[in-house]
Amino acid sequence: MALTTAAAYGIYRQDVALTDIVRNLNQAGFDNEDICMMLSPTHPIASVVRDASLFSSDRENSVASAGMIGWLSAFGAVLIPSVGFFIRSRVFLHALMVARDAPALCGNARTLVGLGFSEDEAERFEAELAVLGVLVYVSCAESAKTMWAREVFRHTGALETNTLEETIAPVTAGAAA
């Protein structure tokens, strides 16, 4: 079961300042709970999460890790394949649990299918994310807001951005032909 077709996404390089993207989305009227991010396991944030430990003797690193994990936990969902995930939104939880026997929480192409992408697009994005680094996805209550989210992604330097509706439309049209 896909989340919605009222969504927009942007794909970024690993070196993008995610805090700037989130700030711009928030200023444009999008809540953190509507934002889902998928990060490459090689992303710098993935290293912080992977290395986080409650038993670290380095207090400064423990505080920084706790701060980062707190920040990630504020979003609807954050997925880092082979590292971990944070899900705050019940809507994202239901969407990301695509199939009980094959949960999407490991951050693979099934995760993206759960968000509403076609199988082909999900596989393409999974391959791109391994190289590029970050997919930011915003679920929108209204279809009109998806265009606004797409503009925010363009403004913040996304390498690729679109609305989910425009992404799946060619696939649906091709299937009908």
Q: Model confidence at 168, in pLDDT bands (50, 70, 90)?
A: low
Evaluate if residue 172 carries a pLDDT over 70.
no
Scanning the structure block, which residue is given the tokens 């969504």?
7
Q: How many angstroms separate the CA atoms of 67 and 97, rounded?
A: 27
State how far the Cα of 102 lies from the Cα of 63, in Å rounded to an integer: 35
Decide which of 18 and 95 is more confident: 18
**Tens of pLDDT, residues 103-134:** 444 555 677 888 888 888 888 888 888 777 89
Residue 152 to residue 158: CA distance in whole angstroms: 9
Position 68 scores a pLDDT of: 83
Q: According to the model, what pLDDT value does residue 79 have?
A: 87
26: pLDDT strictly greater than 90: yes
Beta-ladder partners of 38: 79, 135
Q: What is the pLDDT of residues 74-88, one digit of tens each?
A: 999 998 887 878 888
Beta strands in 125-165 (DSSP E): 133-139, 160-163
Inform me whether the pLDDT recorded for 69 exceeds 70: yes
Answer with the residue of higher pLDDT: 112 or 23.
Answer: 23
